Amino acid sequence: MNFGKQIKIENLDLFYGNFHALKGINLGINENEITAFIGPSGCGKSTLLKSINRMNDMVEGCRITGKIMVGGCDILDRRVDVNSLRKNVGMVFQKPNPFPMSIYDNIAYGPRTHGMKKKAELDEIVEKSLRNAAIWDELKDDLKKSALALSGGQQQRLCIARALAVQPEILLMDEPTSALDPISTSKIEDCVLELKKKYTIVIVTHNMQQAVRISDRTVFFLLGEIVEVGRTEQVFSRPKMKRTEDYITGRFG
């Protein structure tokens, strides 16, 4: 199933038991752009991000109403194959989580799961994915080395490469640089800017400067609601809502 690159969220409400975590979310996410989700901790950013590839299915007591359209498909329809969805909508987490196996096998894992067996094809996917994650030159001579021996920044770029290996259309990133040093952060930001030529990217970040540096559009969340959406330059330089201005300027409290 080909889902496509565009995301449209309509009248979305999400509950964890009796807690109303997301309230009346309506949002369009453009293809081949980077959309940043900003806002204080616990405001719903990561909850919405994880809903876009149905990771909240794993949370007991989670209930969602409304629609999340990826391409022309409502992914909340229980007839949607979640494995196919997650092949199309890749996810990179806050903390690098390489598998305890070689660099090569980390990247080849997804394609093998989806039935790719030929070594030549796997070799090509591994190289292409590592190149797209801007780490091929660093790792090409160490593909048999354990991924766990890499630095934190290298592990995170490896995890990006692993997500790309199954050829998604959309890449979701949940604070992918929060645990990294400034040099590693810069490398990943450069990588993400390059990747938007091929992918739709949604990134959750607490780093205002990062949102300004890399995103095309910014969505500000507060208490489970979207307060403001706009081009990043407009949101940060001419916010329409006082709550947005207070958060950006640090007066929020």
Residue 253 pLDDT: 53
Q: Which residues pair with 28 in a beta bridge?
A: 8
What confidence tier does 3 reach under pLDDT thresholds 50, 70, 90? Answer: confident
CA distances from 169 to 16, 28, 77, 86, 131 (A): 29, 16, 19, 10, 17
| CB-CB contact of 218 with 244 (8 Å) | no
Average pLDDT over residues 140-144: 97
> Considering the domain boundaries, does residue 72 fall inside one?
yes
Write the burial class of residue 80 (CB in 10 Å: 0-12 exposed, 13-18 middle, 19+ buried): middle
Question: In the numeric block, which tokens belong to residue 217?
Answer: 């559009």
> Considering the domain boundaries, does residue 185 fall inside one?
yes
Average pLDDT over residues 114-138: 94
CA–CA gap between residue 198 and residue 207 (Å, rounded): 24
> Considering the domain boundaries, does residue 205 fall inside one?
yes
Q: By C-alpha distance, which of 142, 106, 149 is closest to 126?
A: 106
What confidence tier does 4 reach under pLDDT thresholds 50, 70, 90? Answer: confident
pLDDT single digits (tens) 214-226: 999 999 999 999 9
> Considering the domain boundaries, does residue 2 fall inside one?
no
- CATH number of the domain encompassing residue 69: 3.40.50.300
Average pLDDT over residues 198-213: 96
Q: Are strands 34-38 and 217-222 parallel, antiparallel or unpaired?
A: parallel
Residue 114 pLDDT: 87
> Considering the domain boundaries, does residue 1 fall inside one?
no
Q: By C-alpha distance, which of 143, 144, 124, 138 is closest to 191?
A: 138
The residue that leads in pLDDT, 3 or 44, is 44
What confidence tier does 242 reach under pLDDT thresholds 50, 70, 90? Answer: very high
CA–CA gap between residue 35 and residue 12 (Å, rounded): 18
Number of domains, the chain: 1
CA–CA gap between residue 166 and residue 122 (Å, rounded): 11
Angle ∠(95,59,156) on CA atoms, nearest 5: 15
Answer whether residue 115 shows pLDDT above 60.
Answer: yes
Q: Which residue has the tokens 């009346």?
A: 24
Structural domain that includes position 21: 7-249
Residue 1 pLDDT: 63
> Considering the domain boundaries, does residue 76 fall inside one?
yes
Secondary structure of residue 108 in the 3-state scheme: helix
> Considering the domain boundaries, does residue 111 fall inside one?
yes
Q: What is the mean pLDDT of the chain?
A: 94
Residue 245 pLDDT: 94
> Considering the domain boundaries, does residue 161 fall inside one?
yes
- The count of residues in the chain is 253
Residue 2 pLDDT: 67
Consecutive H or E run containing 15: strand 7-16
Average pLDDT over residues 140-165: 96
